[in-house]
Amino acid sequence: MLFTFLLFTFSFLNLDSQEEYPVTWHIKAENTGNRTFQVRFEAYIDKGWVIYGMETSSDGPVSTTFSFDILNNIRLEGSTKEITKAEVKYEPLFDAEVLKFSKKAIFSQKVTQLGSSRVVKGNINYMACDGTKCLPPTDVPFVALLK
């Protein structure tokens, strides 16, 4: 009887501790010539979930941001761009119109290789919501190889 009780209790604890990861990121660098590269960030978003654009209002969700480590011999050219057009929709969770992506979102950052360094490193920060709840903002470290 004690074994059954413990098994039942740990089953519920296990369900509560499972984390959700509704977004998968793929990062790659495309050589565009003359030592310049487009670093592409592709977010694959599970059905029913969304992430938010890079520009959100202060009363809305956490925006998607990209930060880059200071690296010798790599120069960022301009800012990171949204390639996929975000949907402008009312979000009841925030009682505001927001820019959001569902299914897939693509972002891009142009970099120039100034020396022998062949790596771009940084961090993606984003928030995912499913219409009834939002997960805490998530940090995803990345490394892109320049070939």
Domain boundaries, the chain: 22-145
Retrieve residue 72's tokens: 């010798």
> What pLDDT is recorded for position 26?
98
Instruction: Determine which of 4-13, 26-35, 60-69 has the lowest per-residue pLDDT on average.
Output: 4-13
pLDDT of residue 145: 95
Residue appearing with tokens 């209790």? 9
* Dihedral (CA of 14, 141, 49, 127) sign: positive
Written as six digits, the tokens of 16 are 């509560």
Dist CA 137 CA 125 (whole Å)? 7
Rounded CA gap, 126 and 136, in Å? 9
**Mean pLDDT of the 19-36 span:** 94
Range list of β-strands (E), the chain = 23-33, 36-45, 50-52, 65-68, 74-82, 87-91, 96-101, 104-113, 119-126, 128-129, 138-145
The residue-averaged pLDDT of 9-37 equals 75
Q: Which CATH architecture has domain 22-145?
A: Sandwich (2.60)
Q: Are 142 and 25 in contact (CB under 8 A)?
A: yes
> Average pLDDT of 90-101?
91
